[in-house]
């Protein structure tokens, strides 16, 4: 590798988060980054698409620490996001997300990587006084705790993603929401059926494709500055009523928010939605503090977005976070396909 080049390896590079990080780093014009993508299938369409952009794609299985070690060899930094929705984690007697995360971290440590950026969350018990446990949150928090506890990194940076804008592109989620944003109800409304989100009802949303990667990019420009912070990945915070109002104004379509009577009513009887139900219970207990003891804020995300934009040679609106209005207009407005 040429002197001064900083190899950054992405675990989960073909997923929503990892892909966003890859594309943001590829746009860097100032930092001499080189991007490597870890995938289980280098021949997949998504992997091939990354290769066509000049990304080095390597095969490794997160369950095999020695493969991760080899894949991360020579890396200055690694970004990791584990897939909490992997069906393997639905088996109560099977391996856990923490087991996977530990294997990945062990491989990274063995490769002598000094900078680690983790897609993480705070444990549910922290903000609820021990009243709740939520598997997704707790597993990611345990992975972060384990990584920090190794003492093998110069910096472990933790970024916490809000609610994905992109979830609302899913037909499956539209069915969970009982219509919104695809299927009008009997009165002609695109109705969003969700429980209320805490006392202030302001939920944190993040544009994964357009913003998340830039935030990680901003962290990697100076990881030591961010290593002791819980970084909130938030593009915009809105109440659910405001959320559908923004949608209506951006698209010209009739939409409304219909509060469910209880968090227990969300996808009732669907086992795969248990963590989603518990998340709304968590919102009730914490007054809507998704990120634990800290209120939701876009302040840090705005700073990181601008840092990444500068490194990419951008300014103006290109250095701003993606608004819900622009996302809705692009995907559901009159000019969208």
Opening angle at CA 309, ends 304 and 311, nearest 5: 100
Cα-trace Rg, the chain = 20
In a domain, 1, yes or no: no
337 falls within a domain: no
Q: Rounded distance, CA 286 to CA 291, Å?
A: 10
- What is d(CA 168, CA 181) in angstroms, rounded to the nearest whole number? 7
Provide the CA 210 distance to its chain's centre, in angstroms.
12
Pairwise pLDDT comparison (269 vs 304), residue with the higher score: 304
Cβ-based neighbour number of residue 128 at 10 Å: 18
Q: Residues of the chain with pLDDT > 90: what percent?
A: 88
Q: Which two tokens stand for residue 120?
A: 């993480």
* Assigned domain for 92 exists: yes
pTM exceeding 0.85: yes
Assess contact for 57 and 47: CB atoms under 8 A: yes
Closest CA to 295 of 215, 213, 200: 200
Q: Mutual orientation of helices 16-26 and 45-52 as an angle, nearest 10°?
A: 10
Helix 16-26 vs helix 213-221: angle between axes, to the nearest 10 degrees? 50
Count of structural domains, the chain: 1
Q: How far is CA 285 from CA 113, 122, 273, 275, in A?
A: 39, 15, 19, 15
Q: What is the pLDDT of residues 73-103, one digit of tens each?
A: 999 999 999 999 898 998 889 999 999 999 9
What pLDDT digit, counting tens, does each position of 131-183 carry?
Answer: 999 999 999 999 999 999 999 999 999 999 999 999 999 999 999 999 999 99
Q: Give yes or no for a contact between 22 and 13, defined as CB atoms under 8 angstroms apart.
A: yes
Per-residue model confidence (pLDDT) at position 335:
79
Domain hosting residue 44, numbered range: 6-332
Contact indicator for 230, 148 with CB cutoff of 8 Å: no
Per-residue pLDDT of 54-69, as tens digits, reads: 999 999 999 999 999 9
CATH number of domain containing 131:
3.40.50.720
């Amino acid at each position: 590798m040429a002197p001064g080049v900083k190899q950054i390896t992405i675990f989960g590079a073909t997923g929503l988060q990892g892909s966003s990080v890859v594309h943001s780093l590829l746009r860097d014009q100032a930092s001499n980054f080189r991007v490597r993508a870890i995938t289980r299938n280098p021949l997949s369409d998504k992997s091939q698409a990354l290769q066509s952009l000049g990304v080095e794609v390597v095969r490794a299985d997160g369950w095999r620490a020695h493969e991760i070690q080899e894949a991360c060899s020579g890396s200055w930094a690694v970004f990791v996001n584990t897939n909490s929705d992997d069906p393997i984690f639905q088996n109560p007697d099977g391996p856990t997300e923490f087991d996977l995360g530990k294997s990945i971290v062990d491989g990274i440590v063995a490769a002598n990587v000094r900078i680690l950026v983790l897609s993480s969350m705070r444990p549910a018990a922290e903000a609820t006084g021990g009243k709740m446990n939520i598997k997704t949150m707790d597993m990611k928090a345990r992975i972060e705790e384990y990584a920090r506890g190794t003492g093998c990194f110069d910096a472990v940076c933790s970024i916490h993603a809000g609610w994905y804008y992109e979830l609302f592109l899913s037909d499956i989620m539209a069915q969970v929401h009982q219509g919104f944003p695809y299927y009008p109800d009997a009165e002609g409304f695109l109705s969003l059926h969700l429980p209320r989100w805490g006392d202030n009802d302001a939920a944190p949303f993040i544009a994964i494709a357009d913003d998340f990667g830039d935030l990680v990019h901003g962290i990697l420009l100076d990881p030591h500055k961010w290593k002791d912070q819980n970084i909130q990945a938030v593009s915009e915070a809105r109440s659910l009523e405001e959320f559908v109002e923004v949608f209506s104004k951006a698209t010209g379509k009739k939409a409304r928010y219909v509060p469910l009577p209880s968090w227990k009513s969300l996808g009732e009887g669907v086992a795969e939605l248990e963590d989603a139900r518990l998340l709304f219970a968590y919102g009730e207990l914490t007054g809507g503090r998704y990120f634990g003891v800290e209120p939701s804020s876009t302040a840090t995300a705005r700073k990181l977005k601008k840092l990444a934009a500068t490194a990419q040679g951008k300014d103006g609106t290109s250095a701003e976070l993606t608004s819900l209005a622009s996302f809705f207009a692009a995907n559901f407005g009159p000019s969208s396909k």
